[in-house]
Amino acid sequence: MVTATHIDAQVLLVSALASGQGKTSVTAALARKLSRQGKRVRVFKCGPDFIDPMLLERASGAPVYTLDLWMVGLDQCRSQLAQAAAVADVILIEGVMGLYDGAPSSADLAREFGVPVMAVIDASAMAQTAGALALGLRDYGPVEMAGVIANRVASAGHANMVAASLRDIPLFATLPRQSRSLPERHLGLVLPDEVGGIDEMLDQLAEQLAFDDAAWSRLRTTRIEIPPAPEKQPVEEASPALAGKTIAIARDAAFMFLYPANLDTLRSLGATLRYFSPLADEPVPSDADAIYLPGGYPELHAQALSQAASWQASIRAAHADGIPIVAECGGMMALASTLTDQSGACWPMTGLLPGAVTMQARLAGLGSQGWTGAHGILRGHTFHYSRLETAVAPVAHTVKHPSGAEGEALYQTGSLTASYFHAYFPSNPAAVAALFLGTART
């Protein structure tokens, strides 16, 4: 029996010259349009991000995973692409920032896997100059340029001028300027569930995305290598590190920054996952062996969290009982003594990490980082607009990638491990298991 070593799939990396060009709207429109045509669509997001994937999941109807050559790693990126190619007719990858921004960049990912690039250009304030931008994006790397999607186009005549300027690059599609855009806040787009009529907006984007069927039919496929199957482990091998453990995970409008891959990793380690809502004043489940408080928007719900007596009492009791608690960014903010929101109102929090969190207008942390402990490096990133003032001394710091400079502080008080650092669990499952077993002392 011959085992397949590759899959040929239709894959596109949707990128642009900068943020704000409409990559997410265009990718969502393309995913929704293709899905409505009966195609099986899988979407990935390049680089660390929680919010864009939520919208892309809504548009495509399937979970959106992360591709990043450093945080996720080459082998896991290849594995995820192969898994998607096995079940999808089309794979879309939304790039991060501009095509060549970051180390590694979206262009690096496209070249690594031989994926053609679809460039989104905001044509609202230009016409023929679009050609110069497209040629520059193609040739600077270079990358293989499949075509251009012109966003915020004013008319058919405007589209014709853009198309004529592209020379040998096809104008793949156009999208008109929208009367209603997806709202944003300090960490990015507003969450899909907070936008009234979000599905109608996505349907409208799909209907207004006019693309060239002939150009689509000429798109080449990409050969995705299938990683070899892992060797079978001996039957007598020990159980997974978190077998028999129940992990309680905060999940609501205040705590929703969760990578699907993180949840997959916890399950693969043997854990049973239980969700609860601090915003609804639900206590920590009584059978929890560990607690995970992910990031989110606690600053938008500070008053409700401050008045959630059952939640506060239960997390304090869990901490007093020595139950391991892992708190990331927004999760850590909710465990400080106080949280001052954007309006300047100061709200009491649980106080497990003595200190004051204050929202600020200026970005306080951004970028890829890694934390090295006893089990090696756990990779991830940071993105926050608040600062923490505390007398608690950090037990360690992350390291920024690629500069090597000192990154976010890591705090441990009793059974609590807390940081602004968002960890990507598949990068080091052994380190993750130690965190939730309470053995990751530094």
DSSP string, 387-412: EEE-SSPPSEEEEETTT--EEEEEEE
What single-letter amino acid sits at 97? Answer: M
Numbers of helices and strands, H then E, in the chain:
13, 25
Task: Name the DSSP class of 180.
Answer: S
The answer to whether 420 and 332 have CB atoms below 8 angstroms apart is yes
Give the 3-state DSSP-derived string for 307-339, with helices as H, strands as E and coil as C: CCHHHHHHHHHHHHCCCCEEEECHHHHCCEEEE
Cis peptide before 142 (omega within 30 of 0): yes
Burial class (CB in 10 A: 0-12, 13-18, 19+), 363: exposed
How far is residue 83's CA from residue 66's CA, in Å, rounded to a whole number?
13
The answer to whether 147 and 215 have CB atoms below 8 angstroms apart is yes
Percent helix, strand and coil across the chain, each rounded to 5?
30, 30, 40
How far is residue 172's CA from residue 190's CA, in Å, rounded to a whole number?
28
How far is residue 197's CA from residue 208's CA, in Å, rounded to a whole number?
17
Tokens encoding 231:
């060797």
Half-sphere exposure of 229 toward its Cβ, with a 13 Å CA cutoff?
5
Helices (H), 235-308: 260-268, 302-306
CA angle 283, 284, 286 (to 5 degrees): 105
Residue 329 is among the residues annotated as catalytic for this protein: yes
Of 46, 77, 329, 346, the active-site residue reads 329
How far is residue 206's CA from residue 199's CA, in Å, rounded to a whole number?
10
Among 75, 96, 77, smallest CA distance to 85 is for: 77
Catalytic residue positions, numbered: 329
